[in-house]
Amino acid sequence: MNSSLVGILREAAEHDEIEGVYGALFGIQGMLDEVLIDLEREDPTTIQGLSRTPAAALGSCRYRLGAEDCERALEILKAHNVRYFFYVGGNDSAETAHRIAQLAQDRGYELYAISLPKTIDNDLVETDHCLGYGSVARFVAIATMDASRDTEAMRLLEPIKIIEVMGRDAGWVAAAAALAKKSEEDAPHLIYIPERPLIPGQFLEEVQRVYRQFGYVVAVMSEMVKKEDGTLLVVPDEGPEKDPFGHPRPSSPARFLCWLIRSELGLRARFDKPGTIQRTAMAYASSTDLEEAYLAGRMAVRYALRGESDCMVTLVREPSDSYRCSTGLAPLAKVANALKTLPDEYINPEGNFVTEAFLEYARPLIGEPLPTYARLRQVPVERRLS
């Protein structure tokens, strides 16, 4: 997100028709409160440093605009003579930019609104991939490699490990764990995604099969995998958790599966749930992802200056023997509230792993090659005692 911001600022500085650049703190909520900052008064060294700074330097929010909010947003833009509006984010951000662009057009106010596709969920339509996905894919792949070696070492005590990652409605993040697998023995051994139901009995059979073959199991799953009937995976009598507002929040499905493994197979199982760190761990950022985020920021400004509006910058994979990416545009009306899930050709017939087609899609997005870990040959010494 910050790399895109730097791209916007750098490109804007090269055009005399842009007289200044403001930032709305905490996204659209900050704009509605008229909490704006002058980004041109920031130290150039600070701006440069943003390129490799995690999270959102301007802050973020989750706020759905009401009709009155749209009118208020347009009033703020008019009051500050803002003519170019750039909004970086996922589905909700695309909808926000679309509604503001539409209202400006209806009111006859000259405004050019461009959205940038930043979501680690990688679930926006009309774009080959989303900004942020390559980095979270790299994080998940390396985390799986590390957790696998730990589980392999601890297999006499805790032979089963389940890693639960983000991805409410689409399994792109969990699927990225497959990039860690370099041999049959390597993890992940199993992957479970929202696009396919998890059948508890079948899951236990798959875990048992892998355990008998290797002596340990590492499975990766999305946070909202469900059963065949669409119900959540919840430990009996536990019930759903609640957020600070009292709204139900599903319990961890990985917790349920660990309980199931202990109950039915008698094996000790643990789970790891990295949470929000998977989207903020800058040490794992993909160089490809950072470069494309910067490019998208610059291109957003260029598109706006040539009169484009109510559009999202898209990432376009060029046909080539080696990976190349350019940008394009898609109407926000097609992007807002639409969802891109893993296509069938990326999921194996059993529904518990991905195909080579997915790996070919994802490999170029994670930047440099993943680390290579050593494994002892474990040449046995002849026994001298019976």
Residue 135 has pLDDT above 60, yes or no: yes
Closest CA to 124 of 303, 311, 350: 311
Domain spanning 137-281+342-366, CATH class: alpha beta
Peptide linkage before 197 cis (omega within 30 of 0) = no
Q: Is the pLDDT of residue 248 over 60?
A: no
pLDDT digits (tens, 9 = 90+) for 114-132: 999 999 999 999 999 999 9
Please provide the size of the chain in residues. 386
- Mean local confidence (pLDDT), 162-186: 96
User: What is the mean pLDDT of the segment spanning 29-58?
Assistant: 97
Q: What is the pLDDT of residue 236?
A: 74
Give pLDDT, residue 237.
61
Residue with structure tokens 């990688």? Answer: 122
What is the mean predicted confidence (pLDDT) over 223-249?
71
Q: What is the pLDDT, as a whole number, of residue 235? A: 80
pLDDT at 247: 44
251 or 69: which carries more pLDDT confidence?
Answer: 69
Torsions phi, psi for 294 (to 5 deg):
-65, -45
- SS3 label, residue 291: helix
**CATH among 3.40.50.1970, 3.30.450.20, 3.40.50.450, 3.30.200.20 for 2-131+286-335:** 3.40.50.450
- Local confidence band at 244 (pLDDT 50, 70, 90 cut-offs): very low
- Cα 368 to chain centroid, rounded: 18
Domains 2-131+286-335 and 137-281+342-366 share a fold: yes
Which residues are designated catalytic? 121
Residue 83 confidence (pLDDT) above 90: yes
How far apart are alpha carbons 100 and 96 in whole angstroms? Answer: 6
Instruction: Report the relative pairing of strands 325-331 and 311-317 from DSSP bridges.
Output: antiparallel
Res. 187 pLDDT band, cuts 50 70 90 = very high
pLDDT tens-place string over residues 293-306? 999 999 999 999 99
CB atoms within 10 A of CB 283: 9
pLDDT in tens, 328-376: 999 999 999 899 999 999 999 999 999 999 999 999 999 999 999 999 9
Average pLDDT value for residue range 219-248: 75
Q: How confident is the model at residue 242 (pLDDT cuts 50, 70, 90)?
A: low
**Residue 285 predicted with pLDDT over 70:** yes
pLDDT at 243 over 50: no
pLDDT level of residue 278 (50, 70, 90 thresholds):
very high
> Does the pLDDT at position 379 exceed 50?
yes
Predicted confidence (pLDDT) at residue 245 exceeds the cutoff of 80: no
pLDDT in tens, 35-45: 999 999 999 99
Which stretch of DSSP H or E encloses residue 143? helix 133-153
Evaluate if residue 74 carries a pLDDT over 50: yes
Nearest to 235 by CA among 248, 254, 210: 254
φ, ψ for residue 49, nearest 5 deg? -70, -20
User: Which residue ranges make up each domain of the chain?
Assistant: 2-131+286-335, 137-281+342-366
Q: Quick check: 322 and 308 in contact, CB under 8 A?
A: no
Mean pLDDT of 208-233: 95
d(CA 354, CA 369): 20
| Average pLDDT, rounded, for the chain | 95
* Tens digit of each residue's pLDDT (9 = 90 or more) over 150-169: 999 999 999 999 999 999 89
Residues 336, 46 contacting (CB under 8 angstroms): no
pLDDT of 241 > 90? The answer is no
For residue 319, how many other CB atoms are within 10 A of its CB?
Answer: 5
